[in-house]
Amino acid sequence: MKTNLKFAALSAVFLAVACQKNQPQPVEGRNDNLGKGGGKTTMMVGTTYYVDNVGGNDSNAGTSTGSAWKNISKVNSFVFSPGDQILFKRGGAWTRTLRPQGEGISGSPIVIDAYGTGAKPIINGGGARDEGPDGLINTSDDILDGGATILLKNQSYWSINNIEVTNISSTQGNRQGIKIVVEDVPGSSTDEIVQGITIKGVTVRDVFGQYSFDTGKDTGGISLFFYRAPGSASSALVDARFQDIRIEECEVRDMNRGGIFSGCSDNLSADTHFDPNDYPISNLVIRRNIVDNCTGDGIVVRFAKAPLIESNLATNNHSGNESLVQHGVAIWCRSTKDAVFQFNEVYGTQAVSSDGMAFDADLRAVDTKFQYNYSHDNLGGFMLLIRSSENTTVRYNISQRDGRSNAVNRIFHFSKYPTSFSLPGDAQIYNNSVYVYDNTATTSTESVALSNFADNRTKFSNNIFYNQAGGIVKRPEDSSIWEYNHFYNYTNVPSSPTGIYGEGTGVNTNTTGNPLLSNAGSGGNLTGIGTKNQDGSSSLGTQVDGYKITSYASPAYQKGRLISNNGAKDFYGLTVSSSARPNKGAHNGCLGCN
């Protein structure tokens, strides 16, 4: 697969941002002290083992740089204890799958890391793939452990840091870079739980996984995977769980098919095997990662309760041949509850005939929030909502030049498929700023379409839709509610229900005219990690300030509708009142006015 040279520069930016004092704030009510266990923390001093592919020897003790081990086979033969460290020499390279044994405890994980100076140590799986009959995932009975360069199976409290992982091959197969597995033990009366896993500062690149839309989503970079063993009853799936998992500050690039993802051995029917109020994955954080050039999806979270996906940079995903990979979205969730996606930047997602959006609330995604994100230049659009997703909130985001694919042609897409499920319901889309550059990418002015197949429980409020070249609002088969939005350079503006601020019967609260923004359309590639911290601090300078309102005279200034539980902050970290009318758009202040 191709190597993306831009990541030398991006990694430098990544390191600078990661050291910022002001980091995104934990979501209110969320336990952000992950990986520390729920009970008493025990600190144990373990042994440090060194691995040197040039100067080492497997007959050595391995406990000093001068007596290092040499081969991964030696590491695989050893059972490690809580507090132990396995350090690979920087500049070294190994071609072998890593299968370390042992478990840590809360407060004393087993650590895989680097020592010395120079480039990260490289562990190459050498094209290893699963041991199924054809190397592909076809059934839940396939043996799913053989294709990962690094595998942890039913092992808790591990930390993997500062190494480079690859699994290069010329043919597709069931492969991953790092795979964390929890498998239910048939006949066991207790849950099998994997907890306290941290993956940080790791580069995962060039893993040639599987193209398949159905099963390939579990191949690629970093995988959390739970499955029942062959012969287990279907109800056993609920007994395999992940808790307290962090994936932070990693660089995942040049993948077939996915970047960072969670899944199970029967994704298509998994929802029937666990209580919808009792999700198998809890306390999952995916933060400050770079995910680039995945042929399918960038970040996919499935079967999780309250996952937090924030401050990631997802670029140039869904880059594969659509006849092979079919659908793909940069960042999305399915079969989740209370997922939060915030402070992410997404751009360059590709689309020819399907998908290619920045974000997606997919099947059975319930109570999902997409907030404080910056989405731009994604050919398939900004937001996809699939049938059976419920109560999705999309607020305080900026979408710039999204939706310019010839086939997709929309900013918001409410899918009518699969038809066996109900339409996406109760979506609340408010205080977003959407900029459409032009419609020259297609043969129809409908390229500026905003929605499709939304039901009457979906509400658009307080948004600014800014069209640089002019166009129409396309709303086929759409019965959603539009109120207190602002449109610039659009025709056939949606009508609204009767206003609540004395506008009078028949007065459209969806207004038109120049909103007097600072410099709409001026945002570029920020190439940073995290769009905006909720406390108002930022490492991104003024690069998205073009969407700030510049004058009290703006028809969007303090003309929005008051919304309860509005998050209290806008895109720029400014206060949004719980009692006064807000602005329309993602900015709640007035540049130069206060």
Strands 486-491, 374-376: pairing kind:
unpaired
Q: How do the pLDDT tens digits run along the chain, 594 residues long? A: 444 434 444 444 333 333 333 333 334 334 444 433 444 556 778 999 999 999 999 999 999 999 999 999 999 999 999 999 999 999 999 999 999 999 999 999 999 999 999 999 999 999 988 755 444 544 444 445 668 999 999 999 999 999 999 999 988 888 999 999 998 776 666 778 999 999 999 999 999 887 777 676 778 899 998 875 444 444 444 578 899 999 999 999 999 888 999 987 655 455 555 566 678 899 999 999 999 999 889 999 999 999 999 999 999 888 766 767 667 899 999 999 999 999 999 999 987 667 889 999 988 899 999 999 999 999 889 999 887 788 999 999 999 999 877 666 678 888 766 666 666 668 899 999 999 876 544 333 333 455 556 666 789 999 999 988 777 677 655 678 899 999 999 888 889 999 999 999 999 999 999 999 999 999 887 755 444 443 444 444 457 889 999 999 999 999 999 999 999 999 999 999 999 999 999 999 887 765
Is residue 344 in a domain? no
Is residue 8 in a domain? no
Is residue 92 in a domain? yes
Closest by CA to 521, choosing from 545, 487, 557, 500, is: 545
Is residue 477 in a domain? no
C-alpha to C-alpha distances, 126 to 52, 75, 239, 340, 437, nearest whole angstrom: 19, 17, 33, 36, 45
The pLDDT score that the predictor gives to residue 477 is: 57
In the chain, helix, strand, coil percent, each to 5? 5, 35, 60
Return the ∠ at Cα 4 (arms to 3 and 8), rounded to 5°. 115
Distance in angstroms (rounded) separating the CA atoms of residues 148 and 128 = 7
The pLDDT score that the predictor gives to residue 527 is: 54
Query: What amino acid is encoded at 541 in this protein?
Result: G
Closest by CA to 203, choosing from 122, 109, 135, is: 122
Strands 313-315, 345-347: pairing kind:
parallel
Closest by CA to 430, choosing from 462, 470, 390, 392, is: 462
pTM here is: 0.88
Is residue 91 in a domain? yes
B/e letters for 74-111, b = 16+ CB within 10 Å, e = fewer, are: bbeeeebebbbbbbbbbbbebbbbbbbebbbbbbbbbb
The pLDDT score that the predictor gives to residue 236 is: 43
Distance in angstroms (rounded) separating the CA atoms of residues 314 and 347 = 7
Q: What's the domain range around 90?
A: 34-270
Query: What amino acid is encoded at 573 in this protein?
Result: G
- Confirm if 267 and 228 have CB atoms less than 8 A apart: no
Query: What amino acid is encoded at 422 in this protein?
Result: S
Is residue 139 in a domain? yes
Is residue 420 in a domain? no
Number of domains in the chain: 1
**DSSP class of 552:** T
Is residue 49 in a domain? yes
The pLDDT score that the predictor gives to residue 30 is: 40
